[in-house]
Amino acid sequence: MDVNALYNEWLLKANGDPDLIEELESIKGNNEEILDRFYRCLDFGTAGLRGVIGAGTNRMNIYTVGQATQGLSDYLNKNFENPSIAIGYDSRIKSEYFSKEAAKVLAANGIKVYLYDELEPTPCLSFAIRKFHTSSGIILTASHNPAKYNGYKCYDPNGYQMTDEAAEETYNYIQKIDYFTGIKTMDFDEAVQKGLIEYIGEDVIEEFLDEVEKQCVNPGICKKAGLRVIYTPLNGTGNKPVRKILKRIGVEDIRVVAEQENPDGNFPTCPFPNPEIKQAFECALKITKEFDADILLATDPDCDRVGIAVPNNDGEFVLMSGNEVGAMLLNYLLSQKKANGTLSPTAVAVKSFVSTDLAQEIAKKYNCTFKNLLTGFKYIGEVITNLEKEGRADDFVMGFEESYGYLAGTHARDKDAVVGSMLICEMAAYYKTLGKSLVDVMNDLYDEFGYYCNTVKSYEFEGASGMEKMAKIMDTLRANPPKQIAGMDVVYIGDYKTSVAKDLENGTESVIDLPKSNVLAYKVTGGNGVIVRPSGTEPKIKAYITAIGNSKDNANEIADKLIADANKFMEV
């Protein structure tokens, strides 16, 4: 691939967006900058596209979005009779612009488009796919990434992200499309006039909220408890739907962080709009000086993840991890459903396999079937869909991922911070009536089941050299697996790429009955372990640490040792 030839072609032809020509002119003669933009094409996987906004084949722009959409159009026209699609977008830079450009391409290919008329959470896109029975869906978002990123995720007719097979077939079509001559398009207003593009109205959002509200297990508890909430949508899509659902369930005393209330893709007060990190709560924490809150809520820009901070016994607000919230929500839903007689004897709960094993211990207590799945909420969506096909939709209790994604109900097939926010507030209100904070509740679970310290370490590898290093690290670990981690013998190795699990204590092998994925899992004595997984959407490798102790200090000590060896894995 001659990057300079590509650069010159784009400089000549990429005139559909003035921002691109200006950027290309600014890097003329800078070989490093040119290489970074053209050394590869953005990967199209089951998560679609994600990248920095800008000019080039390795950037998010109208040409990479157009190429992907033309390829998707060809796939849909080949596999569906009279195909249709739903499109949503978040508050990110150019999200609305990209959504309309995609709609124009789809319409030009004869595909009916249902387009949200304003920014909406990702789960609303999943809901729309199911409501309108569309063949696919697109959401323009980069989730919780910094402002320079945007993304393009594709969905299947069930409302979850595309399967590997569908994504591969779509990618094969995409690769055949020329950025400048192969993309069909038409005038947006003409497409609307012809009925090829139809706006999704407010009535659909209200219908979505109706379904979310049905997941309450203690209606009226928030009003009874007088729950006091501080909420930040982090300049994203959650502002309207989260506030509406909280109002519906009786949360009347709520403060919204003013500087993070309205949509703004620059995220001026929070460069990393990620509810997993403390910075996301800095503005909300300032309000606690004048407003005695029971809980702080933060949803990410596309409102599919929600994080919380709650006061401890000293009145200091502490962040609770996605694993902790997932475990508490599961315990709350199972205990309350059992108490009110609505817990199915064939209930099912699910999580990603990198999330805390505490959840399956809780499920055992309530005789709830528990499933561990690959990372990616589509796998949780598939479980719900299969239950639905069996007439067992009501058996689904909840699914979650440690990265702050939760879903209860079958209204969507993706993680949903609207229902997550509602249930977290309901749970906090319930325990408030018992004189307990969520910190107290979590400590009760640790006392009952043991202290689980689950930590995620991220290692970033930017640029072309970074991609090579990531591949080398995984290849090296696969070829030379560690015999000890944290001074403890490795007793289990799971290679999800080869689907082989090795029990080193018994000298046996078994098949991992999950789709193949470039993941390596190591377990040492005591249930402790490390899972190593390259991100599917970002230039990083994540190490998921599990440490189980008889106290917080004991578990943290084990975790520190595991992390130290995980750091060494990345030094190849």
Amino acid sitting at position 544: Y
Q: Inter-axis angle of helices 3-13 and 31-38, to 10 degrees?
A: 80
Q: What is the DSSP string of 56-109?
A: STTSBSHHHHHHHHHHHHHHHHHH-SS-EEEEEE-SSTTHHHHHHHHHHHHHHT
Let me know if 136 is a catalytic residue: no
Residue 285 near residue 270 (C-beta atoms within 8 A): no
Alpha-carbon span 139 to 23, nearest angstrom = 26
- Which has the closest alpha carbon to 414: 458, 380, 390, 365? 380
- Residue among 84, 126, 143, 421 flagged as catalytic: 143
Tell me the CA distances in angstroms from 303 to 233, 275, 515, one per residue in order. 8, 10, 27
Pairing of strands 49-52, 149-155: antiparallel
Tokens 């080398």 -> residue: 472
* Residue 160: CA count within 13 A, CB half-sphere: 18
Q: What is the DSSP string of 498-541?
A: TTEEEETTTTEEEE--S---S-EEEEEGGG-EEEEEE-SSSSEE
b/e map 389-398, b = 16+ CB within 10 Å: eeeeeebbbb
Pairing of strands 306-311, 295-299: antiparallel
DSSP bridge pairs for 492: 503, 523
Pairing of strands 529-534, 540-549: antiparallel
DSSP bridge pairs for 452: 548
- Which has the closest alpha carbon to 126: 380, 330, 404? 380
- Cβ contacts of residue 280 below 8 Å, gap of 6+? 232, 234, 270, 272, 273, 274, 298, 307
And the tokens for 254? 């709520």
**Would you please indicate which residues are annotated as catalytic (active-site) residues?**
143
